[in-house]
Amino acid sequence: MTVQNTSSIPPSIQKQLPQAVLRKALEMDEVGHLDFVEEFRKRKRQDARSAKEDGEFFWLSAYIRMPMISPSELGVLGVLAVQLWQHCTGSPRPFESLKNLITMSIYKPDSHEEKKLLETELLKQLKTRLPELEALLEKSDSHWHSEDMFYRFYHQSFKVYYLQADTETIVAALRDLLPGRELNEDFMRIVDGGTGRKFEPEHNQRWQEETRPILEAFFHARMMLQLAVQYAGKLDSPPSMLPSGWAAVLYLYRLR
């Protein structure tokens, strides 16, 4: 059932919010916790500030209300912040200072309800950026990336070290889907172990010890990217029965 309201939250944003988020946002609006939303929209209409200043205004306005806002409301504010920013600025990604707000709120969930909200947001971001992620997966699977680098390991060529750049690019793309959210510790331990390495001639004497972590990190990152792309195309909403691949993606974002 659609929530009927006269909120200052733009209707176009309300349509994009999950119903649970919208209900909570409207409750917050009623008690004045979102009274800065209309002012933010006016500032943008007047075009009197740069995007950077608008972002700082939004962040500061929300931040000073945090003592009045419960942990569950912070999660709602995080979802709303992203949508409001995109609506008012036309920018597909939030300004860095807005990411700080999101980091302190939505991306540190504790309750089951908040995790489900995050899962919904993750799936939405995946679908929005699916073409970009598909292109990255195709590049990662191309001859001069995964295939040639796999060969370089057995050929004992220092060029296998180039594979670290692909791993870092994939991890950055995955991280950017929920900015500020810490990724799975086991995953990052593998990534950290297989990136940031620089070839030294003595590595030839302990080749597997030095280079196997590079391949392992790439394969884990690449598999997570494949699963993210795969289920972004398959799922319309968070499933009640989790396919193994989607469950792995949720583990990546610490949502399981």
What is the residue type of 236?
A: D
Q: Map residue 157 onto helix, strand or coil.
A: coil
- Asked if pLDDT for residue 247 goes beyond 70, the answer is yes
pLDDT of residue 182: 85
pLDDT band at 37 (very low <50, low <70, confident <90, very high): low
- Asked if pLDDT for residue 96 goes beyond 50, the answer is no
Query: Residues 86-109: what's their mean pLDDT?
Result: 49
Angle 66-72-73 from CA coordinates, rounded to 5°: 45
- Asked if pLDDT for residue 128 goes beyond 90, the answer is yes
Higher pLDDT residue, 110 or 198? 198
Query: Residues 80-100: what's their mean pLDDT?
Result: 54
Query: Residues 31-39: what's their mean pLDDT?
Result: 60
Higher pLDDT residue, 122 or 16? 122
Q: Tell me the whole-structure pTM to 2 decimals.
A: 0.63
Higher pLDDT residue, 118 or 194? 194
pLDDT of residue 118: 83
Minimal CA–CA distance to 129: which of 93, 154, 95?
Answer: 93
Q: Map residue 10 onto helix, strand or coil.
A: coil
Q: Domain spans of the chain?
A: 11-106, 130-252
pLDDT of residue 120: 87
What is d(CA 141, CA 170) in angstroms, rounded to the nearest whole number? 12
Percent share of the chain, pLDDT over 90: 49
Percent share of the chain, pLDDT over 70: 57
